[in-house]
Amino acid sequence: MTRAELVKLVEQAFATYNQNLPGDEDKLKTLYAAWYDLLHDLEYDVAKKAFLRLAVTAQFLPRPGEIRRVAINMAKGIPQFDDALIAWGKFLSIIRNVNSGVVEQQVVQQPLSETIKRLGEAALGMHTNSDREAFCRIYEAVLTSMNEALYAPKEQQ
């Protein structure tokens, strides 16, 4: 995305949410620089589509990082990852089936699969509230590392 395209996207975003751009030239340059740092390596059309998708549901002006994540997900066909508590429920269902000998095919997202690998054999006996908290901490750590690898902006030239 060129800087001119970025300016157009930022102006559209602020106009869509009835927000005023900073009047101070230095603050405006800082705003554009912040958005450019996160969106410079995306195509303008992809970033705009991502913004429009967010604008339909987001009550507040999306941050550039949100636009980046949606744009990358759209371009690569990546589904949104489950919330930690939803993953915990799916995990309990899998463990219940394994422990009862039931073979039921389930689609397991990569963060849940990685969390189960990190838990190892201890995962088979998890079911308490403290187990849930431990599971959620590990799942969130997995999500964070995956998101950093997936969404980090490329270096600027």
Query: Which of the listed residues 44, 76, 108 is the one where a domain comes to its end?
Result: 76
Same domain? 105 vs 138: yes
* The token pair that represents 6 in the structure block: 């970025």
Residue 129's SS3 state is helix
The answer to whether 150 and 72 are in contact (CB under 8 A) is: yes
72 lies in the same domain as 115? no
Q: Is residue 53 part of a domain?
A: yes
Residue 83 falls in which region: left (phi positive, over 0), alpha (psi -120 to 50) or beta? beta
Q: Which domain holds residue 14?
A: 3-76
Q: Which residues in the chain belong to E strands, given as ranges?
A: none
Answer yes or no: do 50 and 106 share one domain.
Answer: no
Q: What tens-digit pLDDT sequence spans the chain (157 residues)?
A: 999 999 999 999 999 999 999 999 999 999 999 999 999 999 999 999 999 999 999 999 999 999 999 999 999 888 888 999 999 999 999 888 888 888 777 788 999 999 999 999 888 888 899 999 999 999 999 999 998 888 888 775 4
Terminal C-alpha separation, the chain: 12
- 8 Å CB contact between 75 and 47: no
Question: pTM of the predicted model, to two decimals?
Answer: 0.74
Given 49, 76, 103, the domain boundary residue is 76
